[in-house]
């Protein structure tokens, strides 16, 4: 109440024309509940006018009263590692106050804070004290768990196999009771979607949480729909180790339909990870799509690759020919004997209809013929670095037999293409090829084309066909075009075949004619070993004539 009166009085002073202040009106003391959110406002004078546009900040007070030890948030978007993801500062310039909001309060957040305006401690400022109180029953004998910031942690809940049919769950303790994070049916709380998995096996309900945040530091309990069983289940006290705060790449990727994506997974190169892979989270399970050892799901063959630079600590995953079914949550997973890091990425198809790379997704040619695969690109990629490469599991080898048909005289880029040419294709050239554009070492966009080279005897037809590459929504017209020399050969062969067929038809006609005569004039007779076409009627007629003579 006293704080409210103080603020009201101070605001009235601020509203007096011509008045200015060298202080900020902040509440002297604020109290929040552990694990909950708290907000407080600090008012400042609109005079001088510079107050509106100067830097606003909040910091922890150091050993010297009124001086900052560490800035925790500012209106530039900065937040310190201890508060990253759970603190904001919003400046309402038109009303001359700013608001600081802290989420997931912890006991460690208690202390003296300074809120001010300016680039350093010499600006105007106000001091407040923050207290954090417990408003819930803390589980007894909780087992301590430690997790690295942005790392992963595993909770194990052992159950009596005789009641295996009962629903099992892991919940987070808060003032309102316990929030079910995930259960054995796969139901996940929306605030943890994409970050937790669960597995029920051999009487153990195992929950894995990844991309651990500061606000995840809390008490957790294992539970069951059987009240008696829940009494003996373990409790956990999760603590966060903030020493390995490694910034990650974008957590939301919005590729265009038919385009590509590049996921960046950043890790500490000094740590020894024994396995690294990229997986898609489905039904509470994350099955690896591709690993750094080159193994991968067959359904993604030709359109995904992984590039791991253990020196810089950057693992990149590239995926082409994006379709609607590629939307969802993905994990970058790095595991070792002592370390385990997992970062999350969500993929959503962009609603913007931006032009991108396009070309043949499937080309088939006879062996010995030239193969040309085209890749068209829009104006926005005119100055970008372009390439063709051959896909081989976990790498894409650059190719040099590439022609860029762009014409600097053209007013538009609609006809510009990047053409890959193989003069005399053989079966060893069959495989997947990537066309793409790069910005330095960063892959901007790529598409996949598949080349099939077949022997001429396998019956390749000179007709149009349609092929839909796995996972691709585009259907590209594919024309198989033999060379002119082969066309002449085909004409010669066709004429010869027609001549042979005509001769066979004549022989068949004669044979058919004789068969018809046989049926008309009765049976044939044999004279010795000589077979003749004289009929029995003719023979009787000649015998009668000799008798009359």
User: Residue 21: how many CB atoms within 10 A of its CB?
Assistant: 16
Q: Is residue 179 part of a domain?
A: yes
Our separate counts of H helices and E strands in the chain read: 5, 37
Dihedral Cα 25, 30, 34, 37, nearest 10 deg: -40
Task: Please list the pLDDT of the chain residue by residue as tens digits (549 residues).
Answer: 444 444 444 444 343 333 334 568 888 888 888 878 899 999 988 877 778 888 999 999 988 888 888 899 999 888 888 898 899 999 998 888 999 999 988 888 999 999 999 877 677 888 999 988 765 555 556 787 877 777 888 999 887 766 567 788 999 987 777 889 999 888 999 889 999 999 888 788 899 998 888 888 888 998 888 776 666 778 888 877 654 445 566 788 999 998 999 898 888 888 888 889 999 988 777 889 999 988 889 899 999 999 888 888 889 899 999 999 999 999 988 887 666 778 889 999 998 878 888 888 899 999 999 999 998 888 888 888 888 999 976 678 888 766 666 544 344 455 578 888 888 999 899 999 999 888 777 778 899 999 999 987 655 444 333 344 444 434 343 444 333 344 444 444 444 545 655 665 656 665 655 555 555 443 333 323 223 333 333 333 443 444 444
Give me the DSSP letters along 30-84.
EEEETTS-EEEEEE----STHHHHS-EEEEEE-SSTTSEEEEEEETTS-B-GGGT
Say if residue 73 is in the same domain as residue 157.
no
CA 73 vs. chain centroid, Å, equals 31
Say if residue 417 is in the same domain as residue 447.
yes
Report whether 435 contacts 374 (CB < 8 A): no
Q: Is residue 342 part of a domain?
A: yes
| Alpha-helix runs per DSSP H in 261-311 | none
Q: What is the pLDDT of residue 407?
A: 47
Q: How many domains does the chain have?
A: 4
Range of the domain at 322: 252-347
- Which of 319, 347, 375 is a domain's end point? 347
Q: Is residue 77 part of a domain?
A: yes
Q: What is the DSSP letter of 532?
A: -
Q: What is the pLDDT of residue 353?
A: 78
Q: Buried (b) or exposed (e) across 193-221, using 16+ Cβ within 10 A? A: ebbbbbebeeeebebbbbbbbbbbbbbbb
pTM: 0.50
Report whether 173 contacts 36 (CB < 8 A): no
Say if residue 8 is in the same domain as residue 109.
yes
How many C-alpha atoms does 499 have within 13 Å on its Cβ side? 6
Report whether 420 contacts 388 (CB < 8 A): yes
Q: Is residue 116 part of a domain?
A: yes
Q: What is the pLDDT of residue 515?
A: 59
Q: What is the pLDDT of residue 395?
A: 77
Q: Is residue 497 part of a domain?
A: no
Residue 257 CA to residue 260 CA, distance in Å, equals 8
Say if residue 406 is in the same domain as residue 283.
no
Q: Is residue 487 part of a domain?
A: no
Say if residue 68 is in the same domain as residue 118.
yes
- Which of 322, 347, 372 is a domain's end point? 347
Please identify which residue in the block is written with the tokens 């008012």.
43
Say if residue 9 is in the same domain as residue 121.
yes
Residue 106 CA to residue 219 CA, distance in Å, equals 12
Say if residue 88 is in the same domain as residue 180.
no
- Which of 393, 420, 453 is a domain's end point? 453
**To 5 degrees, how large is the angle CA 322–CA 324–CA 328?**
95
Say if residue 36 is in the same domain as residue 75.
yes
Report whether 312 contacts 363 (CB < 8 A): no
Whose CA is closest to 244, among 267, 274, 216?
267
Say if residue 115 is in the same domain as residue 171.
no
Q: Is residue 516 part of a domain?
A: no
Say if residue 12 is in the same domain as residue 129.
yes
Any idea what the CATH number is for the domain that residue 167 is in? Answer: 2.60.40.10
Say if residue 178 is in the same domain as residue 207.
yes
Q: Is residue 41 part of a domain?
A: yes
- The answer for 260, left when phi > 0, alpha when psi is -120 to 50, beta otherwise, is beta
Say if residue 116 is in the same domain as residue 7.
yes
């Amino acid at each position: 109440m006293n704080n409210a009166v103080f603020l009201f009085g101070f605001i009235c002073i601020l509203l007096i024309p011509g008045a200015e202040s060298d202080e900020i009106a902040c509440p002297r003391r604020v109290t929040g509940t552990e694990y909950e959110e708290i907000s407080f406002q600090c008012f400042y004078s609109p005079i001088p006018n510079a107050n509106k546009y100067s830097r606003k900040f909040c910091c922890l007070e150091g050993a010297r009263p009124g001086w900052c030890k560490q800035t925790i948030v500012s209106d530039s978007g900065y937040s310190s590692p201890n508060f990253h993801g759970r603190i904001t500062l919003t400046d309402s310039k038109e009303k001359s106050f700013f608001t600081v909001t802290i989420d997931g309060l912890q006991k460690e957040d208690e202390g003296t804070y300074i809120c001010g305006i300016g680039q350093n401690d010499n600006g105007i400022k106000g001091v407040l004290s923050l207290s954090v109180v417990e408003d819930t029953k803390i589980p007894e004998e909780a087992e301590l768990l430690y997790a690295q910031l942005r790392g992963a942690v595993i909770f194990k809940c052992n159950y009596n196999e005789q009641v295996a049919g009962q629903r099992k769950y892991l919940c987070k303790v808060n003032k309102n009771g316990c929030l079910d994070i995930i259960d054995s049916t796969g139901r996940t709380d929306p605030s943890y979607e994409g970050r937790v998995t669960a597995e029920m096996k051999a009487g153990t309900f195992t929950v894995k949480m990844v991309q651990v945040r500061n606000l995840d530091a809390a008490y957790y309990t294992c539970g069951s729909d059987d009240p008696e069983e829940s009494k003996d289940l373990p409790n956990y006290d999760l603590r966060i180790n903030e020493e390995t705060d490694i910034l990650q790449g974008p957590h939301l990727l919005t590729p265009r339909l038919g385009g590509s994506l590049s996921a960046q997974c950043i890790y500490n190169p000094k740590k020894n990870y024994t396995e690294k892979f990229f997986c898609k989270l489905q039904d509470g399970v994350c099955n690896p799509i591709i690993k750094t050892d080159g193994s991968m799901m067959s359904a993604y063959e030709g359109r995904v690759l992984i590039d791991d630079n253990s020196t810089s600590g950057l693992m990149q995953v590239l995926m082409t020919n994006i379709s609607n079914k590629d939307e969802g949550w993905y994990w970058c997973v790095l595991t070792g004997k002592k370390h385990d890091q997992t970062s999350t990425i969500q993929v959503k198809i962009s609603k913007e209809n931006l032009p991108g790379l396009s070309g043949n997704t499937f080309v088939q040619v006879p062996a010995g013929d030239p193969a040309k695969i085209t890749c068209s690109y829009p104006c926005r990629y005119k100055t970008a670095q372009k390439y063709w490469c051959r896909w081989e599991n976990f790498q894409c080898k650059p190719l040099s037999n590439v022609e860029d048909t762009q014409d600097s005289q053209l007013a538009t880029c609609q006809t510009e293409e990047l053409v890959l040419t193989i003069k005399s294709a053989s079966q060893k050239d069959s495989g997947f090829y990537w066309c793409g554009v790069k910005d330095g070492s960063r892959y901007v966009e790529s598409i996949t084309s598949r080349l099939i080279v077949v022997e001429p005897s396998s019956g390749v037809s000179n007709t149009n066909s349609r092929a839909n590459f796995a996972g691709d929504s585009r259907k590209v017209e594919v024309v198989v075009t033999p060379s002119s020399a082969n066309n002449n050969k085909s004409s010669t062969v066709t004429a010869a075949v027609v001549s042979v067929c005509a001769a066979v038809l004549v022989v068949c006609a004669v044979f058919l004619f004789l068969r018809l005569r046989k049926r008309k004039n009765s049976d044939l007779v044999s004279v010795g070993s000589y077979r003749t076409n004289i009929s029995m009627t003719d023979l009787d007629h000649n015998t009668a004539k000799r008798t009359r003579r």
